Amino acid sequence: MVSSLDKEKKELALRLYQISAFKFGSYTLKSGEISPVYFDLRVIISYPDVMQKLTDCIYKFIEDKEIQCDQLCGVPYTALPLATLLSVKMRQPMLIRRKEAKSYGTKKLIEGKFQLEETCLIIEDVVTTGSSILETTKDLRNEGLVVEDAIVVVDRQQGGSQHLDKNGIKMHSLFTLPYLINVLKDDNKINEELAKTLNDYISKPIENSKPKMSRLQMSFTKRADIAKNEVAKTLFKIMELKKTNLCLAADVTKTDEILNLAESLGPYICVLKTHVDIIEDFNDDFIKSLKGLAEKHNFMLMEDRKFADIGNTVSLQFSKGVYKISEWTDLLTAHSLPGSGILKGLKSAMSNKNQLGIFLLAEMSSEGNLLSKEYSGQTMDMIKDFSDIVAGIVAQTPNLIDDAGLIQLSPGCRLEESGDDFGQKYNTPEYIINEKGGDIAVVGRGIIESKNPVEVAKTYRDRLWAAYENRLNIN
Ligand SMILES: O=c1ccn([C@@H]2O[C@H](COP(=O)(O)O)[C@@H](O)[C@H]2O)c(=O)[nH]1
């Protein structure tokens, strides 16, 4: 006999297809895997009838499964409106997990009233690996809540359930991918051939479809072993040894100011970043002293020159002129804009100084910058042939790097989310490391313009390192 829930689920599945909440083609998932199906349940908020039907179905589903809870919590963001509607329908309170703590007032991560040891049921839209549910669970458990169940609208059946199970969470899915394939095939929405492609895709052993271990799950020590660029290798080791992933942007204009910063903040940083062309009294002795301090405090020097010309010009800019950058810097930034010739030019100018780690700009932190997604992807492609000289990228999002030996440097960091008058955007240390996927955060004015740069640098160092350790636990 067909239960009323079965009938409602079928109708809902067809309606979800109609509003393009799932699509078929060739899609690159967050894990980098190519998938013949893509779920985008974000569209449902534009269809009140779908929101209503989905809420009713989940409500019945929870009743059928006899799941009890004191609180509900939707995984941000798509599941938030669903959790809200369910909370009203079930007359059960809900909680909201912030993606980052407020930088003012209570600094809470979990909003809403609750008691210790209350049970919280998680609501999620689509599950592939289950990592988003785990992130939310971790914050709820840290507050003393008990999380044992999660309801998901669609389970892609790619290891998420097993992953959650290992972490003490039972996942209940309203729809699975095989179920949706059957419903759509029976209603002639997809043909036999597509159904077969989809079934073949799901029947791949989980090992094959499991996302490969991402750099975000790996320690810097492990990544040092994988890094192909020698300078990146050393940098990973310095970070782990000194327990710091803070890069200081020493954006001051006098040599003694830079040297003072290097001496006083050296113990707390892994990289000191310069813009030599803003220094008014540049001289060779300054470089000698700076190198001495880098050695004394075990940090690396990065010249943030952001080269952007053809290979020949860049090779001259790098090795000649007043600054002779190639002779002293460990790390260097460059734009990918001119094409791979820029990397060839830099490589040719390395001469007898063999060790260089280039960071290509894949994304920028400033508002309105023109580096599109396509540009960022092409930058990553360009790196592949230059793994000996490229140490990493400058970026603002977590999924560009799939080679764990590369380092992501993320500028735009302040203790509080803010901006400057010229479009610079700042995020907190935790947001930079956990949400943007930065391995190293760059901090300039947040430290150098503070009243007590040493104490403030220590705070950045501590918060950035704690966020990195936290990232290893949640991923
Ligand atoms: O996208 C980018 C690339 C580089 N930067 C550089 O980082 C520092 C940031 O300094 P703050 O004072 O912390 O804003 C600066 O040297 C930039 O040239 C960046 O901000 N964004």
What DSSP assignment string belongs to 134-158?
Answer: HHHHHHHHHTT-EEEEEEEEEE--S
Rounded-to-integer distance, Cα 252 and Cα 38, Å: 48
Task: Please tell me the predicted confidence (pLDDT) of residue 211.
Answer: 46
Closest residue to atom 13 of ligand 1, CA basis:
444
Assign 242 to helix, strand or coil. Answer: helix
Pick from 14, 4, 13: nearest CA to 63? 4
Q: Are strands 34-39 and 22-28 parallel, antiparallel or unpaired?
A: antiparallel
Question: Ligand 1, closest atom to CA 443?
Answer: 13
- Reported confidence tier of residue 208, pLDDT bands at 50, 70, 90: very low
Task: Please tell me the predicted confidence (pLDDT) of residue 200.
Answer: 85
446 annotated to bind ligand: no
- Residue bearing tokens 């947001």: 431
Q: What is the mean pLDDT of the chain?
A: 91
Assign 106 to helix, strand or coil. Answer: coil
Assign 238 to helix, strand or coil. Answer: helix
Rounded-to-integer distance, Cα 414 and Cα 447, Å: 9
Interval 63-117: pLDDT, tens: 999 999 999 999 988 999 999 999 999 999 999 998 765 555 556 789 999 999 9
* 124-133, 204-213, 363-372, range with greatest mean pLDDT: 363-372
Domain 215-474 part of CATH 3.40.50.261:
no
Q: Mark whether 381 is an active-site residue.
A: no
pLDDT > 90 in the chain, percent: 76
* 17-31, 119-133, 302-316, range with greatest mean pLDDT: 302-316
Which residue type sits at 284? D
CA angle 430, 42, 362 (to 5 degrees): 45
Task: Please tell me the predicted confidence (pLDDT) of residue 180.
Answer: 93
Domain with CATH 3.20.20.70 in the chain: 215-474
Interval 344-357: pLDDT, tens: 999 999 865 568 99
Q: Which two tokens stand for residue 393?
A: 């990228």
Q: What is the pTM of this model?
A: 0.63
Pick from 187, 219, 229, 182: nearest CA to 202? 182
Q: Which two tokens stand for residue 171?
A: 């996942």
Task: Please tell me the predicted confidence (pLDDT) of residue 3.
Answer: 65
Pick from 53, 43, 8, 2: nearest CA to 23? 43
ipTM above 0.95, yes or no: yes
- Residue bearing tokens 């990065």: 302
Q: Please, which contacts does 285-294 make with residues 24 or more away whose CB atoms are closer than 8 Å?
A: 286/255, 286/258, 286/259, 287/327, 287/328, 289/259, 290/258, 290/259, 290/262, 290/328, 291/328, 293/259, 293/262, 293/263, 293/266, 294/262, 294/266, 294/330
445 annotated to bind ligand: yes
Assign 52 to helix, strand or coil. Answer: helix
Task: Please tell me the predicted confidence (pLDDT) of residue 209.
Answer: 41
Domain with CATH 3.40.50.2020 in the chain: 4-203
Find out whether the beta carbon of 294 lies less than 6 Å from any atom of ligand 1. Answer: no
Interval 350-381: pLDDT, tens: 865 568 999 999 999 999 999 988 899 899 99
Q: Which two tokens stand for residue 266?
A: 């050296």
Q: Rounded mean pLDDT of 306-333?
A: 96
Rounded-to-integer distance, Cα 187 and Cα 17, Å: 11
How many whole angstroms from 43 Cα to the centroid of ligand 1?
Answer: 36
Find out whether the beta carbon of 444 lies less than 6 Å from any atom of ligand 1. Answer: yes
Q: Mark whether 155 is an active-site residue.
A: no
Q: Mark whether 309 is an active-site residue.
A: yes
Q: Which of 265, 277, 333, 424 to mutate to test the pocket of ligand 1 (most atoms within 8 A of CB)?
A: 424
* Given the residues 155, 304, 330, 439, the one annotated as active site: 304
CA distances from 198 to 19, 36, 38, 152, 181 (A): 20, 7, 11, 20, 8
Does an H or E element contain 394, and which?
strand 390-394
Domain 4-203 part of CATH 3.40.50.2020:
yes
Interval 429-464: pLDDT, tens: 999 999 899 999 999 999 999 999 999 999 999 999
In 78-91, which positions are buried (b, 16+ CB within 10 angstroms) versus exposed (e)? bbbbbbbbbbeebe
- 17 contact partners, CB below 8 Å, separation of at least 6: 180, 184, 189
- Torsion of the alpha carbons at 258, 263, 266 and 271, rounded to the nearest 10: 30
- Reported confidence tier of residue 224, pLDDT bands at 50, 70, 90: very high
Task: Please tell me the predicted confidence (pLDDT) of residue 457.
Answer: 98
225 annotated to bind ligand: no
